[in-house]
Structure 1
Amino acid sequence: MTIVTFPSLPMPNGLQRLPSSATLRLMAATQSSESPFDGSVQTIAMPGAKWHAVLTWPPMPPDVWRVLQAFVTRLGGRAGRFRYTHPMTWRRSPTPVLSLGAPVVSGGGQSGATLVTAGWTASTALFKAGDFCSFVDPAGRDRLHQVLADVSSNGSGAATLSIAPPLRTPPASGVAIECAAPKAVWMLASDDQGDFGQMAASGGARASVSLEIIEALV
């Protein structure tokens, strides 16, 4: 399946046009069973947790919203897949990205909620709790993870990250870790996404839209 890139939506000053509002949450996947005897509930975490977001753009001029509308049309509802850096994944850590080194996954066959990494600048503050990173899995899909605790590299430039969601598939050893613009592969949450509302006050030229998207796991 082809994975396309979210389109550029520039503003007159050359900056990227971001949504005016955005939500981001990890949809947990759990399974529960309740005892018929005492009502106690046992809940276990399943491996299907995925990111969910709602993005809203304010009224945009036609040369912008037409581009976004064409992109949504091209996706063909839930069938399409696209790469996107969510605006809420900006870094909190005071260390500039260019000062982090060349971080990579260290060791193959990793699983669970920790990621062993190397290649960082030695003895450097890397992430604040809540920061994000991503890497490309062996199938070529960007996997977005949130770092759950502050972490610094050791004197050898190694660090172990506590992350959510847990690793779905073992990343390849040596694959680069993206910190500046972490990405995920997304899909529309439903086939009826993409209602562009025209603004009567502007003669129908400007239009706004909200898109609900979810991480595409396969």
Structure 2
Amino acid sequence: MPTIDWPMDLTPSKATWGLQSNTESFVSPLNRSVQTVERPGARWKATLEFPHMGPDKRRRLEGFLAGLGGMAGRFFLWPHSSPVADIAAAPVDATMALDFLAQSFQVISSVVVNGGLVDFKFLPTKYWPANTLVMKAGEYLGAGGELKMVTADVVSDANGQALIPIAPPFRAAPANLSMVTLNRPKATMMLSADEFAVPVMPGFISDTVVISTVEAFS
């Protein structure tokens, strides 16, 4: 089954993103001291909440979920709460309130991976404006097909290069000169369960619907 995009018109009223790390702790039998090791396999989890929907939007959501075949389906999903890094976009209308339902941006981005990764918790990049705050802690980016969060503010150097601390660590190094995505960077997700249900009230209006998803990778 091919990986499909989450429909642009199915925008949640509330989106909760979190990171599930993969750690293992060892407790000394002698003095009860604890050592914790970070292992590969951290993954994103997201919960999408939809308010009361009319028949058309409700059926669109039901059809999309049914087509996934439960946990077998895969889809690309971006963090709705932070879809575009500040430096990569400016509002089309500076007076416009940027919310989940009215996101419009002029995206300017040509940033690429700069060489190989030495540490999979840092992404070397180039083609930024020189000597500029290019990424802020908590913003998202995509590289090599993986979604990452920036863990600290980053300022580019005089050559427009920047080493970006990210989480979780890369599972595989992105290719040199491959694009860094700042506009709706995506993770490959799957449903957290095989079942879904959309309660419907009189007038064919849905009740609140909550969908739980988790990152999927091989």
Same fold (TM over 0.5): yes
Match of 2:191 in 1: 188
Shift of 1:179: 0.8
Are 1:46 and 2:64 counterparts?
A: no
- Larger mean Cα displacement after TM superposition, 104-113 or 90-99: 90-99
Secondary structure in 2 aligned to 1:32?
A: strand
In the alignment, structure 1 segments of 5+ residues that lack a partner are: 10-16
Match of 2:95 in 1: none
Secondary structure in 1 aligned to 2:127?
A: strand
Are 1:37 and 2:40 counterparts?
A: no
Are residues 150 and 3 of structure 1, via their aligned partners in 2, closer, same or farther at CA, if it must alter by over 3 Å? same
Are 1:71 and 2:74 counterparts?
A: no
Are residues 111 and 2 of structure 1, via their aligned partners in 2, closer, same or farther at CA, if it must alter by over 3 Å? farther
Shift of 1:215: 0.9
Match of 1:27 in 2: 20
Instruction: Write the distance in 2 (CA, Å) between the matches of 1:102 and 1:8.
Output: 23
Shift of 1:198: 0.7
**Structure 1 segment 128-167 matched on structure 2, within 5 A:** 128-135=136-143, 137=144, 142-167=145-170
Instruction: Write the distance in 2 (CA, Å) between the matches of 1:110 and 1:210.
Output: 40
Instruction: Write the distance in 2 (CA, Å) between the matches of 1:214 and 1:88.
Output: 17
CA contact (8 A) 2:48 2:211 kept: yes
RMSD: 2.0
Aligned length: 203
Shift of 1:170: 0.9
Amino acid aligned to 2:23: T
Match of 2:112 in 1: 104
Instruction: Write the distance in 2 (CA, Å) between the matches of 1:80 and 1:160.
Output: 35
In the alignment, structure 2 segments of 5+ residues that lack a partner are: 91-105
Are residues 101 and 59 of structure 1, via their aligned partners in 2, closer, same or farther at CA, if it must alter by over 3 Å? closer
Match of 2:53 in 1: 60
Deviations along 1:180-200, one digit per CA (max 9) or x if unpaired, are: 2111111111112x2111123
> TM-score under structure 1 normalisation?
0.85
Instruction: Write the distance in 2 (CA, Å) between the matches of 1:95 and 1:205.
Output: 38
Are residues 81 and 95 of structure 1, via their aligned partners in 2, closer, same or farther at CA, if it must alter by over 3 Å? closer
Secondary structure in 1 aligned to 2:71?
A: helix
Deviations along 1:46-97, one digit per CA (max 9) or x if unpaired, are: 1111111111100111111111111111111111110111212245646636
CA contact (8 A) 1:61 1:207 kept: no
Instruction: Write the distance in 2 (CA, Å) between the matches of 1:179 and 1:169.
Output: 19
CA contact (8 A) 2:113 2:175 kept: yes
